[in-house]
Structure 1
Amino acid sequence: MEVKVESRSGKDLGNFKVQESTKLKDFKQMFHKKYPKWNPSRQRFNIKGERAGLNNDEALLSECLKEARVLVFKDLGIQLGWRFVYVIEYAGPLIMFPALYYFPQLFYGQAAERTFSQKVGMAMAVGHFLKRELESLFLHRFSNATMPLANLFVNCGYYWVLHGLFIGYFLFHPQYTEPSFAPGVKYGLIAAFLGSEFMNFLCHKVLRDLRPPGTRKRGIPHGFGFELVSCANYFWEIVAWICFAVFTKTVPSYVFLLGTVYILSKWSMARHKRYIKEFDGKEGKPLYPKSRKALIPFIY
């Protein structure tokens, strides 16, 4: 069987002979041999006339191309490893927060006594992103090996500028006003933040244990909030940032919180739909729990 490949502009990139059992990941190697400048991580293919990209492991060419045997190729550009990108983007707050906290003369032109909320806010943010760094290095198993180089600049802008610089500048400003919460409220927010961070870690461990090394396989997660929502890890992260925003009481903290809720709500719904589609109860597959929501228990 032959498969024709075209570029997105319609340029003919040749015909390729494939076997009945050829998977897309094997086809990418064949394509790379003919076009060495496009390694497999840069390649994206979809069936002509359809927008969705084909899956490396699950999409057999023989099944995908029963009627139309034309693939459309897209060059994804320079790729970087997910683990590398995560380490770089999370380093932003770990650099910016201590710099603004310990060297106020450089940024504000004067020294400043640190309040209780500033000290704890510093510990919250640094602790959160240090946890993220360690999880990225030693815990997470990524479904995709790489992401486009452009994503590095977008992600770094979000964490380095919006969180590290924007929040840090106002939180550690000499004119920062300490929130007038009762001590019980402050310590309650600290406890809720720490609890949410711990639950988030447990959720990440559940997801890691469901994916065998070197695969993109998924299972149905359970426990630590997963009985109620598909993305309990995102839910606990949002709770942690709510605690941080209320505790520090700065406008940038709430802006970052709203941005995080928006992004995670989109990601969680996409993952929720993938779970429902994948675990449909057919061909021996388990049926995904119908009572689960995507992100917010009983609501969304």
Structure 2
Amino acid sequence: MLSMESFLNMPLHTTLCWTMIVTGAFTLFGLSKYVTAPYGRHSKAGWGILLDPKLSWFLMESPNLVMILFFYLKNYGMSGQLPPATNCILLVFYGGHYINRSLIFPMRIRNGKKMPITVMLAAAFYSSWNGYIQSKTLLELEQYGDEVLSSTRFILGSVVFISGFAINYHSDEVLRNLRKPGETGYKIPYGGAFKYVSCGNFFGEIVEWIGFAIASGSLSGAAFAFYTFANTAPRGASHHAWYLEKFKGEYEDLGRSAVIPFIW
């Protein structure tokens, strides 16, 4: 068992990874039992001033990209050199997701609800924390050998990641196109992962980072995957309950799970 003494004597990076896992456990419990994240359809007063959703998404997701740039310049400078091939592929996975999340996705938001500044700041803090541990792993601590590229673990993890990314992206597109320009209100999403779950976007993101954790075989990847599940699964359960309350029998007849098909 991990003792307090051994925890305190860990390197900072390792400590931050384990702290993320512990924080994820508390987040899972808190969001499941006591708090519903107050933005989007669950937005409510009392959580600070409201910000434009496009700006909020950029501010809270872009620290991941800043950390990639910081650690690249720190360790490679202006040399133009690249990390090992496996590291580069994992960086493309990680960075590609956050290029979409911080730059592309916000610009495509239609009629999005404003976000409380407290939610944005909390997410930006997490992105800085996670960006630090992932970027430090891939650009400083780990030097994957070429043999990893053909390993079962890396291939399996990559397939799972790409599948999750596709599910996440498609689900975002379904949600984005639910309302025509100028329309308001909520509708039931159909197609893709929404055939099985209320929150196909959350399901896709969970699958993504499980794949990343498998492919990287790192503590930082495992911490990220667990926290993603801890943060999105209970929010998905809240969305599912909201759909059932709003659309009642029409929605219940669809037989969807909340986030994980046939399980939760």
The TM-score bracket by the shorter chain reads: 0.7 to 0.9
Do the aligned partners of residues 287 and 253 (structure 1) sit closer, same or farther apart at CA in structure 2, a change above 3 Å counting? closer
Q: Measure the CA separation in 1 of the matches of 2:62 and 2:74.
A: 18
Question: Considering only CA atoms, is the larger Rg found in Structure 1 or Structure 2?
Answer: 1
The range that moved more, 232-241 or 112-121, is 112-121
1:118 aligns with one of 62, 70, 87: 87
In the superposition, the TM-score normalised over structure 2's length comes to: 0.73
Asked whether 1:97 is paired with 2:61, we answer no
Give unpaired runs (5+ residues) of structure 1: 1-51, 58-72
Do the aligned partners of residues 74 and 139 (structure 1) sit closer, same or farther apart at CA in structure 2, a change above 3 Å counting? closer
Q: Measure the CA separation in 2 of the matches of 1:158 and 1:81.
A: 20
1:292 aligns with one of 227, 232, 256: 256
Q: Measure the CA separation in 1 of the matches of 2:110 and 2:172.
A: 7
Q: Measure the CA separation in 2 of the matches of 1:187 and 1:159.
A: 27
In the superposition, the TM-score normalised over structure 1's length comes to: 0.65
Asked whether 1:129 is paired with 2:75, we answer no
Report 1 or 2 for greater relative contact order, CA contacts < 8 Å, sequence distance ≥ 6: 2
CA displacement 1:59-86 (0-9 Å, x = unmatched):
xxxxxxxxxxxxxx96543221121110
Matched to 1:297, the amino acid is P
Instruction: Assess if the C-alpha contact under 8 Å between 1:83 and 1:137 holds in 2.
Output: yes
Asked whether 1:221 is paired with 2:189, we answer yes
Instruction: Assess if the C-alpha contact under 8 Å between 1:179 and 1:247 holds in 2.
Output: no
Aligned residues: percent identity? Answer: 23
Q: Measure the CA separation in 2 of the matches of 1:298 and 1:98.
A: 40
Give unpaired runs (5+ residues) of structure 2: 1-35
Instruction: Assess if the C-alpha contact under 8 Å between 1:141 and 1:208 holds in 2.
Output: no
Matched to 1:296, the amino acid is I
TM alignment of 1:1-300, pairs within 5 A: 76-104=47-75, 114-132=83-101, 133-139=103-109, 141-142=111-112, 144=113, 146-162=114-130, 164-174=131-141, 176=143, 178=145, 181=148, 183=150, 185=152, 186-281=154-249, 286-300=250-264
Specify the SS of the correspondent of 2:115: strand
4+ aligned runs moved over 6 Å, structure 1 = none
Tell me how far 1:259 sits from its aligned partner: 1.0
Normalized per residue, the structure richer in strand is 1
Do the aligned partners of residues 102 and 247 (structure 1) sit closer, same or farther apart at CA in structure 2, a change above 3 Å counting? farther
